[in-house]
Structure 1
C-alpha cells in the first residue's frame, strides 16, 4: 500500500501519530512528512525514528499547525502526497470546556484547511481520526470532532472521484498523553493519593497498536465517505482500572487514599459508541464496523456553516461559538458544563 508513496501524518508526535509513523517508516515509502505543533515531542520523535530510518525513505519533520493555511498549502504543493493520516487534534474534554475557541480552530477549521488542501492537490487517500465522544456529544471536544466528521462527509460526496475520505472512530487510547492510566500512576508515585471522578464511571479503551493495525486494514476496503467504528469490547470501570494500577505499582490498596471528585466539565458517566439514529454494519474485517444512518449536511450547508463559524471565532466569544455549534449539531447537549444553559 505504501511502497514508493508519499505519506503525511498530522499530530505525528502524538500517541497515534507516532505509532503510525513507526509503522509506515518500515514500508518503503518514498517520503514521510511528519507534522506537529509540539516542539519537544517532535524533537524526541525525530531522535527515535532516525535510528530506524530505511535508506529508501526520505523523512521530513515539520514544526507547525494545521491551522496555518500557508504552511499546509506549501506541504501539498512541494510534495505529491498520496496518503494523509489526520490525527492532530485538541482532545482534552475539560480543557476545551474552558477554551472552546482553540478547539474549534484546530479540530474544525484546521481539519477543513487540510481536507481542502487534499482536494486541491489531488491526494488520493485521507484518513481522519475521530472519537467516540463525537456520538451525541456532551462537550465541546466531541462537538468539534463531529462537525469535522460532517465536513469530511460532505466533501467526500462532492468530490467522490478525486479523494477517498475515511473516518475512524474509537475510544480512549491506553497510555496516551494525559489519559487516565498515566495520570493514576503519577498521582500514586507522587503522593499515594488517587482522584476518581465517579465510582460508576466507565470508558472504552483500546491499544494504540490495534488502532494503527485497524486503520491500515480499513483502507483496504473503504469507499469514500465511510465512517468506521473499531471494535472496542466491553466498557471498563474506571474504579477497576484504578485498583489495577495500584496493584501494578505494588502498593497496598488499603493504604491509598481514593478521593471522589465528581465528573469534570463536559464528561459523561458512560460513553456510547453509536447514536440512537445510527446503526452498525459488518465489513470485511471482523473488528471494523460501518456506521450507517448518521445525520448529514449538504456541501453547501456545511460550507456556509464554516464561514459563519469562522466569523464568530474571530470575535473570540466563547458563548457565541458554543451556541452556534449547538445550532448546527442538534445532538450536542452539554453536561456538567456552564454551557448547559444554552441547550
Structure 2
C-alpha cells in the first residue's frame, strides 16, 4: 500500500459511513487519446556556449513560455486529471463487486478449476505489467524525476512476475516522492501569496504547510490502513453471514468516503462552466439525488432481531412454468403414492 499515500491521507479528513453511489448516475465519457504532459520552462545547459561572429560568447537559454502556451499546458493537465478521476469513478463498481467475492478459497477451489485460476493469474500479471510499464515510461520522460537507471528500469519492467511488482512500485514511489514534495510545496506557497494568507498570523492547523499536514496524518499509517478495511456500505460477502460488521477485515478494501468526495468534486467541476438553465437544473437534481443517497438509512427498530431481515431477489428472465405432459389422472397418481407409502384406501 505504498503507492497511494495521498489517497489514504485524504481518507482521514473525511466523514465515514456514507453509502456507495451507483456509477450509472455519471454520464459515460470516452477517454480521448493520451495527453502529453509538458513540463515548465526548460533551460539549456550552463556549460554550453554559442560563439558569434565577433567572438563574444552567450549562454544558450530557451525562450520562456508565452501566456498562450501556459494556458494550453494548464488545459492539458486539467483534462488529464479529469480522465484519471473518471477512471477512478468507473473502477468503483468493480471494486465493490470484488469485496463480495468469497474469502475462503480452500472450500470453493476444485482441482478441475486450477487451470482456469492459473490462466486468470497470468492475465492479471500481463495487465499489471502493462500498467507498470506505462508508469515507468512516464517517469522516464519527466526530467525532474531522478531515477537510478532509466534504461535499466524500462528493461526490467518488460519481464516482471507477481513477486516483483511490490519492489518496482516501491522504487517508483521513492523516485517520484522528491518531485512530488517539491511541487506541492511550490504551489502551496504560490496559492498563499495569491490569496494574501502569507501576511496573516493564524496559528490554526489549516495554516500549516501541506507537507507537514500529510506527514502528521501519515504518522499512524497502520490506523489509516485499517480504516480502509472496514465494511462501510451494505453488501454481502459470499459465504459469510449477512451482517454489517464493523471489525477490520483484511480481505476487503472499502474507501467509500474518499470515493464520494471525488464523485462530488467531479460533478461540481462539470457544472461550474454550465450557463444553460436547463442543464443547470438537471445537474442540480443530480446533486440532490446524490446527497440523498449518501445519507445512510438506519432503522432503529430492526436491532436485536425485532425485524425480519431479507434480500429481494431479482426477477427471473425467460422463465416458464413446467408443462406436465403426463397422461396419468389424479386418481392414478394418488393410488401410486398410497402404494409406495403403504397407505390403505378408505373409499
TM-score interval w.r.t. the shorter chain? Answer: under 0.3
**Higher Cα Rg: structure 1 or 2?**
2
Quick check: which one's helix share is greater?
2
TM-score normalised according to structure 1 size: 0.25
Indicate the structure whose relative CO is greater, using CA pairs within 8 Å and at least 6 residues apart: 2
TM-score normalised according to structure 2 size: 0.25
Quick check: which one's strand share is greater?
1
